[in-house]
C-alpha cells in the first residue's frame, strides 16, 4: 500500500504542473486587460502604464511564468490585483464555508440516495419503486440553477420558511437550500446506482446461502447486500465531494454563499489573475487528493482491486 501511495503521489506532480501551465496560458490568451478591468476608463495612459509595471504585466510572458513558478516553489500564491491581499489568506478564509456546504450536500446525498435506492429495489411495492426511479431521473436531468431558483421561490418567497440567500453566520437555516440544491443530482445518481447494486446482489449466490442458513431479510440487507451494492457509490461520493470542495460555482453564486466558488466568479469578472490561478490550483490539489483517498478506500473495501488480490 505504501508503494502504491508513493506511485500515485508521483503521478500528481505532472498533473498539477499541467494545471498550472494551462491555467496561466489561458488567462493571458483570452481577450481583456486586467489593468483596464481594475482601473476602468477614468485613468490616463500614464497611470495605466504605471499600474501595468507595478503588477509586472509589462514583462515578457516567459519571464512572468518563470516568476510565477518561482513563487509557487515557495508556496506563495501571490497577491490579488484588486485587494492586494495574499491569495492564500483569502482561500484559507473562504474554504471552510465551501467545506461546510460540500459536507452537508454529500451527507444529504448519501443518506437520501441510499435510502431511495434500497426502497426502490428491496421494497414490496413495484409502483413506489418506479415512481422513485422516475423522480431520480428528473433529479439527474434538472439544471442546478433552475432547481436553486425554484427552491428559493417555494421555500423562501412563497412559504417564508427559509432565507433565500446569504451565510447568516453559518446558521443551519441558511445552509439548507444550497445544500439541497447541490446534493440533488448526486442524490439521484446514488439512488440509481444503489438500486442496481441491490438488485444484482439479491440474486447472488452468497445472499441465497445466507437466507438458506435462516438469516432474516433485514440482516441479509445490512450485512451482505448493502456492503456489495455500495462499492460503486464510494467512487461517486468521492468524485462529487471533490468537485464540491473545488468550489460549487453556480450554487454559491445563486445563494450568495461566500465560499471559494463565488470568490472565483468575482475574480473572473475583475480578471484578477493571481486569484484565479491560485484558486484553480487549490481546487486541483483538493480534487486529486480526494480522488486518491477514494482509490485507497476502494482498494480497502474491495480486495479484488488490490495488486495480486483475487484470481
Q: Which residue has the higher pLDDT, 43 or 274?
A: 274
pLDDT confidence tier of residue 309, bands split at 50, 70 and 90: very low
- Using DSSP's 3-state secondary structure scheme, residue 30 falls into coil
Q: Which residue has the higher pLDDT, 56 or 162?
A: 162
Query: Can you tell me the distance from the alpha carbon of 271 to that of 84, in angstroms, rounded to the nearest whole number?
Result: 14
Range of 34-38, 76-80, 124-128 with top mean pLDDT? 76-80
The grid coordinates listed for 89 are 489568506
List, for residues 134-166, the tens digit of each pLDDT value.
Answer: 777 777 778 888 899 999 999 999 998 999 988
What does the pLDDT average to over 22-47?
77
Residue 86, beta-bridge partner list: 79
Question: Are 34 and 48 within 8 A, CB to CB?
Answer: no
CA proximity to 118, closest of 217, 236, 238 = 217
What does the pLDDT average to over 294-300?
74
Helix count and strand count (H, E) for the chain: 15, 0
Q: What pLDDT sits at residue 311?
A: 38
Q: Please provide the distance, in angstroms rounded to a whole number, between the alpha carbons at the two ends of the chain.
A: 19
Percent of the chain scoring above 70 in pLDDT: 93
Question: Are 161 and 102 within 8 A, CB to CB?
Answer: no
Residue 269, beta-bridge partner list: none
Question: Are 211 and 220 within 8 A, CB to CB?
Answer: yes
Residue 79, beta-bridge partner list: 86
What does the pLDDT average to over 185-189?
88
Look at residue 125 and tell me whether its pLDDT is greater than 70.
no
Compute CA distances 74 → 20, 78, 175, 190, 276, whole Å.
Answer: 15, 10, 36, 41, 18
pLDDT confidence tier of residue 87, bands split at 50, 70 and 90: very high
Q: What pLDDT sits at residue 43?
A: 67
Q: What pLDDT sits at residue 41?
A: 64
Question: Are 90 and 270 within 8 A, CB to CB?
Answer: no
What angle separates helix 273-301 from helix 2-29, to the nearest 10 degrees? 150
What does the pLDDT average to over 280-293?
86
What does the pLDDT average to over 219-242?
79
Is the pTM higher than 0.95? Answer: no
What does the pLDDT average to over 208-216?
79
Q: What pLDDT sits at residue 305?
A: 60
What residues have CB less than 8 Å from 301, skipping those under 6 apart? 231, 234
Q: What pLDDT sits at residue 5?
A: 77
Amino acid at each position: 500500500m505504501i508503494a502504491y501511495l508513493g506511485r500515485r503521489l508521483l503521478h500528481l506532480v505532472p498533473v498539477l504542473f499541467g494545471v498550472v501551465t494551462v491555467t496561466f496560458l489561458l488567462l493571458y490568451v483570452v481577450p481583456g486587460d486586467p489593468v483596464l478591468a481594475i482601473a476602468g476608463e477614468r485613468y490616463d495612459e500614464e497611470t495605466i502604464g504605471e499600474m501595468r509595471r507595478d503588477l509586472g504585466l509589462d514583462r515578457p510572458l516567459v519571464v512572468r511564468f518563470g516568476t510565477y513558478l518561482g513563487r509557487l516553489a515557495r508556496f506563495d500564491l501571490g497577491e490579488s490585483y484588486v485587494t492586494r491581499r495574499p491569495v492564500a489568506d483569502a482561500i484559507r478564509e473562504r474554504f471552510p464555508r465551501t467545506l461546510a456546504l460540500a459536507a452537508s450536500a454529500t451527507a444529504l446525498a448519501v443518506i437520501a440516495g441510499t435510502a431511495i435506492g434500497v426502497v426502490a429495489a428491496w421494497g414490496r411495492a413495484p409502483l413506489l419503486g418506479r415512481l422513485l426511479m422516475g423522480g431520480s431521473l428528473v433529479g439527474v436531468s434538472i439544471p442546478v440553477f433552475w432547481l436553486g431558483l425554484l427552491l428559493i421561490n417555494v421555500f423562501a418567497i412563497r412559504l417564508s420558511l427559509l432565507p433565500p440567500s446569504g451565510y447568516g453566520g453559518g446558521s443551519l437555516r441558511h445552509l439548507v437550500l444550497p445544500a439541497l440544491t447541490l446534493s440533488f443530482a448526486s442524490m439521484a445518481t446514488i439512488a440509481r446506482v444503489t438500486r442496481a447494486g441491490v438488485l444484482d446482489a439479491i440474486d447472488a449466490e452468497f445472499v441465497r446461502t445466507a437466507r438458506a442458513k435462516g438469516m432474516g431479510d433485514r440482516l441479509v440487507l445490512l450485512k451482505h447486500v448493502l456492503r456489495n451494492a455500495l462499492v460503486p457509490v464510494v467512487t461517486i461520493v468521492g468524485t462529487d465531494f471533490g468537485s464540491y470542495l473545488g468550489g460549487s460555482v453556480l450554487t454559491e453564486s445563486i445563494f450568495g454563499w461566500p465560499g471559494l466558488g463565488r470568490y472565483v466568479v468575482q475574480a473572473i469578472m475583475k480578471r484578477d489573475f493571481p486569484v484565479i490561478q491560485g484558486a484553480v490550483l487549490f481546487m486541483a490539489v483538493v480534487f486529486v487528493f480526494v480522488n486518491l483517498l477514494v482509490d485507497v478506500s476502494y482498494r480497502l473495501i474491495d480486495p479484488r482491486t488490490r495488486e495480486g488480490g483475487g484470481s
